Amino acid sequence: MEANRSRRSVLRLAGVGSVVSLAGCAGALGGGGNTVRISGGVGPLPMVEVWADRYEAQSEASFDISGGGTGVGVSDVLNDQVDIAMMGREPEPEEIEQGLFAVPMLIDTVVGTVNVDNPVLEDLQENGLSREELEAVFTKEITNWGDLVDADVDEEITVYGRSDASAAYKQWGDFLAGEDDAYTENELEELADANHNGDQPVAEAVANNEHAISLNNINYVYHLDSGELEGDIRPVPLDRDGEGLSEEEDFYETRDEFLAAVEAGEYPAPPAREMFLASNGPFEDEAAEFVEWVLTEGQEYVRENGYVPLEDERLTEAQENLAEGP
């Protein structure tokens, strides 16, 4: 089939710096064949858009794709509003009981983010923040940048959270809690100074506030095409052992460096996470063929688009699960 513009180019045209408009872009871009309806998490949405473009070029399928968050996708697919849900987390037991069937598609991650003009950015980039320090910031135990780092600064920290059904926020709450029970999305929302609906609004809010901190999927942090830090937000390096940022922990300069660290296990999970494609019962018809393609030929496009492909063993397991069904 033929389209006026690829979805990937739509994403590029929508972006300003590293803030990219992802949710709700694209509908069915042409005729012919069956339309596969997909909704859900904004984290995997750019990759699913790319896959859809590639798959359309070699099939009679068309796609109608929107974001809204993992929770929206799960609700849509269980109510037969879409054929596939994009998920930024594993299915919950109660969702499986309702008939949800999911297979992993790739690995993504989120990072803490601050404004490029943050008053203590140099210290953050040199020393990073530990999980415990991030927990203290997001739970309001530490509320001043001067108290967080050893700097002569007296500026209040503004914490931005997510108001949508965000799997990324759920994973972030799990990461912040360490060995303790995870912070729920509601708990983090209540503690935040303001909450925003989706990755793009969060990134824009941080970009407009020098004293803000939040979290974002990495494709909102690094430039979509170059993989460089060119916009108005910066990642917060993670000090994993609380001893300051070591050379092995300093991999945030480019997206490629960061993804290599995720793939090597040098960045923890969570907040690194598998993402899933899900259906109500077994995948059927064109949707099943598309997911099978994602787990075979489609994996070759993952790295170049800012994600980490599944390991071979995990990929084989996913392919077998897809073939067997729920």
| Distance of alpha carbon 228 from alpha carbon 321, whole angstroms | 37
Closest CA to 138 of 110, 88, 173, 171: 173
Closest CA to 85 of 74, 100, 99: 74
| Distance of alpha carbon 316 from alpha carbon 320, whole angstroms | 6
pLDDT of residue 283: 97
pLDDT of residue 308: 93
Judge contact between 202 and 215, C-beta under 8 A. yes
DSSP 8-state symbol, 272 = S
Residue 154 token pair = 């007296």
Angstrom distances, CA of residue 183 to CA of 170, 178, 197: 8, 10, 19
- Please tell me whether residue 66 adopts helix, strand or coil conformation: strand
pLDDT of residue 9: 39
Q: How many CB atoms lie within 10 A of CB 303?
A: 16
pLDDT of residue 16: 32
DSSP 8-state symbol, 104 = E
Q: Do 7-106+275-324 and 110-263 share a fold?
A: yes
Give the length of the chain.
326
Domains of the chain by residue range: 7-106+275-324, 110-263
Q: Does domain 110-263 have CATH number 3.30.390.30?
A: no
pLDDT of residue 33: 52
Name the CATH superfamily, with its identifier, for domain 7-106+275-324. Periplasmic binding protein-like II (3.40.190.10)
Report, as ranges of residue numbers, the positions in the chain whose pLDDT lies below 70. 1-33
pLDDT of residue 235: 98
pTM for the model stands at 0.80
